[in-house]
Each structure stands twice: as structure tokens, then as C-alpha cells.
Amino acid sequence: MNELIKERLLKSIGKWIIIFLKNDFRYEGKLTGCDNSYVEIIDRKTNSYRVIELNKVAEVEIKREMEERGK
């Protein structure tokens, strides 16, 4: 797992994210937790908690807050 991704996830609790896995799956939702092994989100589609192993994460997209984007 890329240390930059892990660091960014730890600083982004409460933000909306898209997680891209190494097997080409993707999950979108609100980031609710992260540690050295797992990331937890509230999945947008199922409205349930999803816990994902960090070593399966290929890439993440973290949405900035609306006011940060100037809207």
C-alpha cells in the first residue's frame, strides 16, 4: 500500500471518496475510518458500512468540500 494514499485517507475522515481496487472494483461513499490495515466507508449504493483491506486498494479519489471548490 502506498504510504501517500494511507496518509491521505487518515486525513480525510468524513469526506466523500471513491476507492478503486486492484481487481477493478470500485466503491463510492463517505469515509468513516481508516487504520494501518483497513478503510471503512458508508457505501453509497447499499447505505451500509463496507470495510476494505488497504492492501487491495489501487487508487483513491477524495472529493473536496463544496466551499473549497468555490461553489
pLDDT recorded at residue 1 = 54
* Per-residue pLDDT at 3: 85
What is the per-residue pLDDT across 9-65, written as a single tens digit (0 to 9) for each? 999 999 999 999 999 999 999 999 999 899 999 999 999 999 999 999 999 999 986
Residue 69 lies in a domain: no
Query: Considering the domain boundaries, does residue 44 fall inside one?
Result: no
Alpha helices for 1-71 (secondary structure H): 3-10
Say yes or no to pLDDT of 67 above 50: no
9: containing domain: 1-33+52-64
The structure's pTM equals 0.83
58 found inside a domain: yes
Residue 71 lies in a domain: no
The number of domains in the chain is 1
